[in-house]
């Protein structure tokens, strides 16, 4: 585990332990970046911005992104193993989602960049000769990319790829819990021919450490962050002091709506997936489901059976996160919540009993203002509530501070087109979940984020439009 600054790998800094979430054992160590190292990374990024990188054409940057994608693919198994070791997620999930999506992130932005065009206008003038106005896009400058622990490589590359595509330089700070694939990415960057200082990597914690020092640094021109809403608030406060633009994808307490006319089997299967993928440690996961009363009992029973039968799920990422999730479950049970499935810690009879596991859990019977229904848990926990009318379902789904994603299960196409746009979220899925087109806008409203990522939306954020007017 090393930093990567100015084209050189650096192992300096006091090491802190990496813990295997599957067993709870220490699995390695990561060097903590000093303030001086963070400053050197920003300085290197600034120097690279003014160097030969500034002369690279969009076509050359597009080719570079494809070489980076090729480099990840060439070390696919190594990336998959590192992602599983850090997060504890099943190998199938890493190899079918995380690593392929990282490759796709670089390829999609390479292709978008190669085919992108800017607009121009011929403007009349009083003398009849006219003027030509056209738009050019310039990089923002040095971009800080701070990524979370749940989808480490996927979400890191989701920001790094468009930032590099538009000519910026990057200082990345991955979560201290999951640094391994970021280290491998730095090696791929070097092998792909990324100029020194264009991509930099520093490791460390957040408050009073590398994360804070990076996002507060006066040499950082923009911040792209995925993580907790509370942390986003602190980063925004720091960025506001220098009016630096921010792109935030933050927390969620996502709702699912199941109508009586839905295919119940599909709705149950889809909700099992949306609630328990990566043990609920995905910002898009469904944590509260509202079911039309005529099918509530049947849906609840089927979902509980499905949750009890789940296998191959992973642990929580850390002991602290496991304890947070278990705290929510203990309070829910103490306050009269009905535990339909799970609710505790699984026992395996092997080394996994030292890890950070929580059973897939289905709750019911709690009021809307209860913390288990209102607050983001970010674990394998879903709460069920019946509803009677479409209006009631929309009211409860839209309540609360978050607005990231939602699912709607219905067999009525008119209802689907009526309900989905009425949800206060950035993305609504109808009769599916997490079906993504990387060209579409992604992000949340309210406490779930600022701005949109994906396709042209990311390219627009990471570049500044400039108008040129030429009198003819």
Burial class for 248, CB neighbours closer than 10 Å (0-12, 13-18, 19+) = buried
Q: For the chain, give the number of residues.
A: 472
- In the set 83, 216, 249, 359, the catalytic residue is 249
pTM of the entire predicted model: 0.96
Question: What are the domain boundaries of the chain?
Answer: 3-250+448-471, 254-437
Angle 186-220-160 from CA coordinates, rounded to 5° = 35
β-strand partners of 470: 132
The CATH fold assigned to 254-437 is Aldehyde Dehydrogenase; Chain A, domain 2 (3.40.309)
Q: Tell me if 64 sits within 8 A of 193, measured CB to CB.
A: yes
Shared fold status for 3-250+448-471 and 254-437: no
Q: Tell me if 251 sits within 8 A of 347, measured CB to CB.
A: no
- In the set 283, 285, 359, 376, the catalytic residue is 283
Residue 249 annotated in active site: yes
| CA–CA dist 420, 161 (Å, integer) | 30
- Which residues, other chains included, contact 414 with Cβ-Cβ below 8 Å and sequence gap of 6+? none
| CA–CA dist 36, 105 (Å, integer) | 31
Q: Tell me if 278 sits within 8 A of 155, measured CB to CB.
A: no
Query: Is CATH 3.40.605.10 correct for 3-250+448-471?
Result: yes
Provide the residue-wise pLDDT of the chain in tens; the chain has 472 residues. 999 999 999 999 999 999 999 999 999 999 999 999 999 999 999 999 999 999 999 999 999 999 999 999 999 999 999 999 999 999 999 999 999 999 999 999 999 998 888 889 999 999 999 999 999 999 999 999 999 999 999 999 999 999 999 999 999 999 999 999 999 999 999 999 999 999 999 999 999 999 999 999 999 999 999 999 999 999 999 999 999 999 999 999 999 999 999 999 999 999 999 999 999 999 999 999 999 999 999 999 999 999 999 999 999 999 999 999 999 999 999 999 999 999 999 999 999 999 999 999 999 999 999 999 999 999 999 999 999 999 999 999 999 999 999 999 999 999 999 999 999 999 999 999 999 999 999 999 999 999 999 999 999 999 999 999 999 9
Pairing of strands 169-173, 142-146: parallel
Residue 469 annotated in active site: no
Pairing of strands 427-430, 381-387: unpaired
Total Cβ atoms within 10 A of residue 31: 20
């Amino acid at each position: 585990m090393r930093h990567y600054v100015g084209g050189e790998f650096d192992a300096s800094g006091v090491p802190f332990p990496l813990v295997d979430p599957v067993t709870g054992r220490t699995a390695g160590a990561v060097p903590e970046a000093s303030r001086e190292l963070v400053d050197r990374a920003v300085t290197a990024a600034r120097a690279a911005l003014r160097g030969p990188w500034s002369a690279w054409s969009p076509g050359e940057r597009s080719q570079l992104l494809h070489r980076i994608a090729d480099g990840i693919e060439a070390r696919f198994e190594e990336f998959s193993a590192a992602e599983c070791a850090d997060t504890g997620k099943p190998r199938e999930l890493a190899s079918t989602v995380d690593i392929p999506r990282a490759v796709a992130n670089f390829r999609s932005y390479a292709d978008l960049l190669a085919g992108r065009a800017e607009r121009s206008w011929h403007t009349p003038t009083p003398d009849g000769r006219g003027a030509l106005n056209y738009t050019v896009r310039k990089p923002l400058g040095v971009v800080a990319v701070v990524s979370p622990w749940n989808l480490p490589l996927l979400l890191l590359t989701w920001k790094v790829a468009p930032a590099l595509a538009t000519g910026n330089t990057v200082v990345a700070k991955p979560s201290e819990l999951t640094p391994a694939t970021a280290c491998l990415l730095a090696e791929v960057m070097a092998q792909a021919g990324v100029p020194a200082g264009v991509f930099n990597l520093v490791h460390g914690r957040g408050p009073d450490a590398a994360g804070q020092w990076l996002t507060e640094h006066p040499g950082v021109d923009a911040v792209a962050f995925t993580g907790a809403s509370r942390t986003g608030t602190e980063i925004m406060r720091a960025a506001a002091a220098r009016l630096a633009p921010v792109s935030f994808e933050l927390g969620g307490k996502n709702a699912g709506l199941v109508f009586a006319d839905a295919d119940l089997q599909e709705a149950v299967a889809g909700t099992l997936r949306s609630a328990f993928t990566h043990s609920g440690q995905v910002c898009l996961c469904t944590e509260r489901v509202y079911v039309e009363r005529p099918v509530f009992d049947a849906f609840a029973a089927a979902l509980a059976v499905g949750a009890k039968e789940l296998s191959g799920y992973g642990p929580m990422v850390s002991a602290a996160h496991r304890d947070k999730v278990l705290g929510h479950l203990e309070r829910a049970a103490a306050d009269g919540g009905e535990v339909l499935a799970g609710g505790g810690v699984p026992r395996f009879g092997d080394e996994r009993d030292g890890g950070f596991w929580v059973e897939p859990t289905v709750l019911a019977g709690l009021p809307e203002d209860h913390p288990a229904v209102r607050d983001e848990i970010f674990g394998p926990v879903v709460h069920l509530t019946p509803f009677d009318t479409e209006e009631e379902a929309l009211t409860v789904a839209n309540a609360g501070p978050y607005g990231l994603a939602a699912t709607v299960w219905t067999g009525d196409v008119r209802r689907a087109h009526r309900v989905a746009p009425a949800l206060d979220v950035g993305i609504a899925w109808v009769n599916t979940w997490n079906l993504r087109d990387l060209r579409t806008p992604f992000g949340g409203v309210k406490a779930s984020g600022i701005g949109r990522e994906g396709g042209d939306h990311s390219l627009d954020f990471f570049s500044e439009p400039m108008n040129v007017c030429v009198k003819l």
